[in-house]
């Protein structure tokens, strides 16, 4: 739901990210789940604020997705800065069409080039959908 510059070790930004999508997984959890990061995706289109950041750089647009307990971080680089789009699972919507994967929330969207025959992208999408389903089932449970 928000875009933040994560290039620097800023405690305020880290705590904000942790509040929205949770702390990063520990190394043992990452090992058990077979990793929590995506392969590199080609970013095709994005909402205006994200495209404005990417347009100042004349390189290809790439991004990675990191799974967190309560959401994802979609990170991309623009010039020498690294930015992250922070999206909780409750507001994340996925749409997969032929050759593309579109992620969107209330304010922003990104369209990624998708290869259906790549095993690593298939495994990552399965993990993402599992985490999203678990987060939604935990929200639906009464306390």
Q: pLDDT of 51-89, one tens digit each?
A: 989 988 888 899 999 999 999 999 999 888 999 999 999
Rounded Cα gap, residues 82 and 49, in angstroms: 14
Model confidence band, residue 102 (pLDDT cutoffs 50, 70, 90): very high
Domains and CATH numbers, the chain: 2-140 (2.30.29)
Q: Give the phi and the psi of residue 107 in degrees, each rounded to 5.
A: -110, -40
Q: In what order do the strands lie in the sheet with 71-78?
A: 2-5, 81-88, 71-78, 62-68, 41-46, 109-113, 100-104, 93-97
pLDDT score, position 115: 83
Residue 139 has pLDDT above 70, yes or no: yes
């Amino acid at each position: 739901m928000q875009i933040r510059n994560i290039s620097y070790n800023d405690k305020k930004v880290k705590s904000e990210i942790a509040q929205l999508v949770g702390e990063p997984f520990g190394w043992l959890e990452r090992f058990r789940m077979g990793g929590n990061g995506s392969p590199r995706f080609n970013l095709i289109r994005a909402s205006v604020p994200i495209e404005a950041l990417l347009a100042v750089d004349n390189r290809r647009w790439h991004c990675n997705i990191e799974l967190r307990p309560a959401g994802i971080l979609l990170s991309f680089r623009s010039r020498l800065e690294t930015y992250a789009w922070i999206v909780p699972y409750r507001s994340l919507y996925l749409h997969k069409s032929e050759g593309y994967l579109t992620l969107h929330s209330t304010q922003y969207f990104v369209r990624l080039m998708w290869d259906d025959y790549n095993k690593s992208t298939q495994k990552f999408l399965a993990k993402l959908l599992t985490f999203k389903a678990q987060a939604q089932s935990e929200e639906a449970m009464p306390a």
